[in-house]
Structures are given as C-alpha cells and as structure tokens.
Structure 1
C-alpha cells in the first residue's frame, strides 16, 4: 500500500483496503487521498485518485455494511459501486462532481426533479423489517431531555404538540417503503444533469413521508413548489389527506434534525456547560444568512446549536398555524 493511503487508513483496515483496491482496479496504488467532509455519517469517507480517476472510499463499521447501498446503486440512484464488502463495511463508489441543485434546475424544475428521485428510491423492492419511527423519535427526545442542553416554554410547547401528533399520526399503516431516511443537502448531489443520492447508512423500510418531508424541508418553499413536489411524487393531484400527512411530517422532520443538532452540540461541550437558553430570534432565515456569509458552520458547536434552535422554532411556528390544526383533523 502507498504511504499516502497508509497515513489515513487505520492499521487494522489496511489489508482490507488493499484487497478492495486490488479487486476493484487491479492495483493498490493511488496518487492522492483526502478526507471528505460535509456529511453527518460516522463512517470515514475519503476521495481517492486511482489511475487519474476520482473515487469515494468509505470505511463503514465491520459487519454493518448496508446491502442497501448496492440496491440503490443497481437502481441507478446511488453513484456506481465498484466494490463493497458486507463483512468489513468497505465500499468504493464513483465520485460525483457536485453542483448546486438550485443552480442546475432552478426553482421551477427542482421540486419535480427531487420528487422523481424520492419516488425512485421508494420504488426499489425491499423486504427487510421496518424501523419503528415512533420509537426512534421518542428515543431522540428522551436523549435530548437527559442532556439538559435546553429548556423553556418553546421546548415545552414543541413537545406538547408532538405528543398530539404522536397520538394521531398513523405510524404503523401500509405506507412503508424503502427509504433513505436522511435526505439532507450533504446526501443529495447533482452532476449538472441529474440527482444522485449518497450515504445509505441509515436506510430502511420506513414511512414514505419521512423522505418526502426531509427533502422538502431543505429544498421546497411555498405552496406552488409544494404542490408541484407532491403532484410529481404521487403522479397526479395529491389529495387532502396526503397533503395533511406531508405537512405534519415536515414538522416531525424538523424536530428530528433539531434533536440531532443538539446531540452534536452537547457532545462538543462539558456536561456542566451553561448553554445559552435564549430562543428569540433564532430563525431558519437568519441561520441561512449567517451560513451564506460564512459566519456559521455546521462543523462547529455554535452552528449546530443555532441550527437546532432555528429548526425547533420553525416547527413550533408551523404548529401554531390553522393549517396544522386542520391537518391534524384530517389525519385524525
């Protein structure tokens, strides 16, 4: 193995990585390797250059490699898969030279392109046991409360409304499909012509609306885009029930990602750290403005903590609207 690669790969995995390279390319020689940042995956991900071509080397946990990555690659949703080992968790995929989705498709085409991609994911045949989404969310909220990172009336209002959702939402119906479960901008790439989805570590059988809600929360704005998004996904006019369920799940998705952000923020500080309890003024618009200006980063405690607050505030704001009450009545 080259010295360049051995400097980055943990010693216990060097032999397995060398085998992967030999089987994929007939050589273990690479000319460059660099750590890829930007996602929330716990697995180390590298850009490697082999014979002047870029690839993605991912070191998953031993024995935990998701066969789902191969399913997605075979379906043409994930980038081409050149090597995967279900025992070691190592995979090598094609590298997408990512271009901003909004620049490529514009506001008129993006909702449809995104919805078509989500529909393609959900069309992949999948027989594994479904995850229990309700239990997952309950566990995340319990972990948040235990961390004591944040409290106050906005937090109480949020979880009080979630308890109402929890009692009314049809968690265990027949809407279970093959789902990515983490459709955030780090995992939705574009090569300038089409969308590719990466990082399938948490994919499973799940409620179709979690993927729809997560993707929309990052890329779909306003009633017109929302209608185009849902109509494309459902191949026609989305009825009142579908729209209501989607809207409620958008708030659940915001709560999920806020819990993830607070979890990351809590890990960055000592247990007795006095976190700022102020919630006023922490909006998604302000967060996006600071991110765009480069004054905030999701790689830092400050960015994670503010994003968690902004997401929670947005969920609470939406759950105060007449539309939320009407949507609950429809699904109830």
Structure 2
C-alpha cells in the first residue's frame, strides 16, 4: 500500500504532492497533501493500532467535526484506516492568549470550546479509562527499569496515593489530550485535533490539562473555569486541583517513555529537583532552539519538567 492509495481518486496523480509532517504517539503517520491550490491533512493509523479503538476515535472525530469543533472530514478509507481532513492554517492560539488586548476573549472562547466538546453525546457503551490507573500502568510497565531521578518516583507515588474527590457531576465526553499541539486557532474558532484518546471523563480533566500545559496561575484558571461554567468562579474546585496534579504527572510519564523509546540513557544520578528545569524554563529553551521535542534529550527534559510541575501544584 502506498500513501496515494489512501487518497480519494480525484487527488491521485502527478498534480498532487504529499509530505510527511508528523508521527503521532499511537504510531499513526500524518501527511500534508496539496493539489490544485488546496491543502489537506491525511492521517493513516499504524498497523499496530487496535481497529475498534480507531473506529471509536473516528466516531468522536465525526461528532466534533459536525459540531464545528474539528477540521472537516473529507474522505475516510476504513479498510486502510485513513482519514483526510481539511487543512487549517494555525493563527496561533498562544499569541491570541498572550496578547493583553485579546487575552480575555481567548480565555472565554477556550472555556466555551471545552464546554461544547463536553456537550457532545456519549455512546451508551463508552467506558471511562481512569487516568490514575493509566499512570499506574505506565509507571509499572513502560517505565519499569528505566533510570529516573529520585524525585520522579516520589511525585508519581504522591499522585497515586491521593484519594480522588467525590464526583459531583456526570461524566462527559472528554478529549483527554488538550495540549497546545492539539489546539488550532484559525482566526475565528478554536479547533481540536487528534481524537484518539477521547472517552468518558470527569469534566475537570480537560480543563486541568489546559491549565498545566499553558501554565495558568490561579486567577487565569478561575477565568477559564468561569468561561466554561458560564458563571463567575471564585475558588478552584478540589476536583480541578486533583486532576491538575494527576494530568501533569501522567503527561510527564508519557513523555519520559517517549524519551526512552528514542534511546535516552536515563538518569545519571546527578539529577536533582533543583537542577531540573521548570516547565517555564523548558519552554524558554525550546523557543531558543536549545532543546527540541523531537529528540531524546528534549523529551527527557520535558517529561522531568512536567513532573516537577506536578510536585509544585
């Protein structure tokens, strides 16, 4: 099978160019397709990806696209598990958020966008995958035997030992991976990419993930929650605080596993909590090019920074 085989008939031929642009955590391959002045994105699942999981994610992606929350789906090849969507030019959500003139509007739109995700219908047979259990599985499985700084173990065990607060609302359809790479701002709307992890979840989890990755302080988190709830929030709920620590630890553990897959040697014994970059410092080094996410060292630094962030929350 070639990549061209996954395209609709009208996009096959010498007038079409296909360029690989990414590889997802699931092993999926992502390509930019250009033809006759138009751009598209083609995502092909890896052969190792479970077919039922792929169909479930496609169902959620279709729901989101129909609601204007994800790029339009233009073609699906179910046999090859390939999905072609419209290409959306990113006008930078981060710039929208950082500009003092648009910051409040950006936070409001972000909170309302998450609310719209959570309003999508949940299939009756959908099952929640508890993130604390996922963290335990990653820690005892993928990261077992990998040399890590002492503070990492303490951070993970702190999160695993914490008792989740009582849930006071029904589960919603959570995206469960609302990191900045999955948030695209087209100048008018915020669109969400990569629905592979979508599943029933506590509503606070998506909001907590955003808060962690965008380094939101208490006031900013309250404004995000206020936009989500549609009313002023004056105190961060215990569920949000719990999921914020858990989301940072889980994301950090996943990223450390990526570093391991990229053949990082692990800890040398000299690493300490004080010598580990904060999340802010990591982002600064990434912006200067001193660290790159596609490398083992970049993933290692990012994973440790996220775990350090969890410990500070």
The 5 A counterparts of 1:182-331 are 182-219=177-214, 221-238=216-233, 240=235, 243-269=237-263, 273=265, 275-277=267-269, 278-279=271-272, 280-281=274-275, 282-318=277-313
Tell me the residue number matched to 2:28: 43
| Higher-helix-fraction structure | 1
The 5 A counterparts of 1:59-70 are 59-61=44-46, 63=51, 64-65=54-55, 66=57, 67-70=59-62
Residues 299 and 274 of structure 1: CA distance in aligned 2, closer, same or farther (over 3 Å): closer
Q: Which runs of 5+ in 2 are unaligned?
A: none
Tell me the residue number matched to 1:21: 8
> 1:130 deviation in Å?
1.9
> 1:232 deviation in Å?
0.8
Distance, in Å, in 1 between the alignment partners of 2:143 and 2:127 is 26
SS of match in other structure, 1:186: helix
> 1:145 deviation in Å?
4.6
Distance, in Å, in 2 between the alignment partners of 1:207 and 1:191 is 28
Return structure 1 stretches of 4+ with deviation > 3 angstroms.
38-41, 168-171
Distance, in Å, in 1 between the alignment partners of 2:25 and 2:278 is 22
Residues 88 and 205 of structure 1: CA distance in aligned 2, closer, same or farther (over 3 Å): farther
Q: Say if 2:90 is the partner of 1:98.
A: yes
Tell me the residue number matched to 1:72: 64
Tell me the residue number matched to 1:5: none
TM-score, with structure 1 as normaliser: 0.82
Distance, in Å, in 1 between the alignment partners of 2:266 and 2:257 is 15
Q: Is the 8 A contact 1:39 1:186 kept in 2?
A: no
Residues 145 and 200 of structure 1: CA distance in aligned 2, closer, same or farther (over 3 Å): closer
SS of match in other structure, 2:135: helix
Distance, in Å, in 2 between the alignment partners of 1:141 and 1:175 is 28
SS of match in other structure, 1:37: strand
Tell me the residue number matched to 1:135: 133
The answer to which of 108-117 and 143-152 deviates more is 143-152
Distance, in Å, in 2 between the alignment partners of 1:217 and 1:253 is 8
> 1:55 deviation in Å?
0.4
Distance, in Å, in 2 between the alignment partners of 1:84 and 1:299 is 29
Q: Is the 8 A contact 1:254 1:315 kept in 2?
A: yes
Q: Is the 8 A contact 1:61 1:88 kept in 2?
A: no
Tell me the residue number matched to 1:150: 148
Q: Is the 8 A contact 1:115 1:229 kept in 2?
A: yes
Residues 194 and 39 of structure 1: CA distance in aligned 2, closer, same or farther (over 3 Å): farther
Residues 184 and 38 of structure 1: CA distance in aligned 2, closer, same or farther (over 3 Å): farther
For the aligned residue pairs, the C-alpha RMSD in angstroms reads 2.3
> 1:267 deviation in Å?
1.2
Q: Say if 2:173 is the partner of 1:175.
A: no
Tell me the residue number matched to 1:159: 156
> 1:252 deviation in Å?
0.6
TM-score, with structure 2 as normaliser: 0.86
Residues 164 and 141 of structure 1: CA distance in aligned 2, closer, same or farther (over 3 Å): same
Q: Is the 8 A contact 1:108 1:225 kept in 2?
A: no
